[in-house]
Amino acid sequence: MKKILFLMVAIATAAFASDGSGSDMIKAYSVVAAGVGLGLAALGGAIGMGHTAAATIAGTARNPGLGGKLMTTMFIALAMIEAQVIYALVIALIALYANPFLG
């Protein structure tokens, strides 16, 4: 917990160390938000993909005759999960390169 608090203070110090220009602070916060948001999206996607694969393997082990249908459903679910991570990437890129808050 102390390490996380120290990291947050270090990030805030770097963000507030600007020369008075508000756009520099907005850019700094945009980079931090993009990094944290994309990291959380990737973490959630990875956990979801792991659960999906584990459930498919368990279902195939219980009933090998349904392996093909379960595999097809798993690939559709993995595509949906990955789409959510790609959406987070698009939002992060918008926040970095076409930031609407810079006016």
Range of the domain at 28: 2-102
Residue 15 pLDDT exceeds 90: no
Residue 4 pLDDT exceeds 80: no
CB distance 103 to 27 below 8 Å: no
CB distance 53 to 74 below 8 Å: yes
Write the pLDDT tens digit of every residue in 84-95: 999 999 998 888
Q: In CATH, what number is assigned to the domain containing residue 38? A: 1.20.20.10
Write the pLDDT tens digit of every residue in 46-67: 999 999 999 999 999 999 999 9
Residue 30: band (very low, low, confident or very high) from pLDDT cuts 50, 70, 90? confident
Helix-strand-coil percent breakdown of the chain, rounded to 5?
Answer: 90, 0, 10
Q: Is 17 helix (H, G, I), strand (E, B) or coil?
A: coil
Q: How far is CA 40 from CA 14, 20, 37, 44, 46, in A?
A: 22, 31, 5, 6, 10
Number of domains comprising the chain: 1
